[in-house]
Amino acid sequence: QSVLTQPPSVSAAPGQKVTISCSGSSSNIGNNYVSWYQQLPGTAPKLLIYENNKRPSGIPDRFSGSKSGTSATLGITGLQTGDEADYYCGTWDSSLSAPHYVFGTGTKVTVL
């Protein structure tokens, strides 16, 4: 079971905004940068946000990230049908015997 909890699904109409939460703890989100990944149906994941709020080259500014305490949030504005995908947060965790990377439980975004 993942230590990062996300809502199973969120939905909104085209043009609207959605936010996806990622809840963790002090051993992971609380003391590490968070990344977000988008996985379109049948494809490999793609890096969407890194270091909490930075976008790789080519990622539109409709996608934004933030972090507060032990939670992180991904926001998508101007929702498009092409944004229908699964979204995962990810970060390092320093609990247990050695640092390890963890992904969130994943959130499916549906455009109504």
Partner 1 sequence: QITLKESGPTLVKPTQTLTLTCTFSGFSLSTSGVGVGWIRQPPGKALEWLALIYWDDDKRYSPSLKSRLTITKDTSKNQVVLTMTNMDPVDTATYYCAHSWDYYDSSGYYSNAFDIWGQGTMVTVSS
Q: How many chain residues bind partner 1 (CB under 8 A)? A: 27
Q: Are 29 and 4 in contact (CB under 8 A)?
A: yes
Stretch that binds partner 1, among 15-23, 61-69, 73-81, 104-112 (CB under 8 A): 104-112
Q: Are strands 46-49 and 18-23 parallel, antiparallel or unpaired?
A: unpaired
Among 21, 46, 84, 110, binds partner 1 (CB under 8 A): 46
Cα 72 to Cα 8, 21, 32, 56, 82: the distances in Å are: 15, 6, 11, 18, 23
Backbone torsions φ then ψ of 78, nearest 5 degrees: 55, 50
Binding mask 58-87 for partner 1 (x = CB under 8 A): ------------------------------
Using CB under 8 A, list all residues that contact partner 1. Answer: 2, 32-33, 35, 37, 39, 44-47, 50-51, 56, 88, 90, 92, 96-106
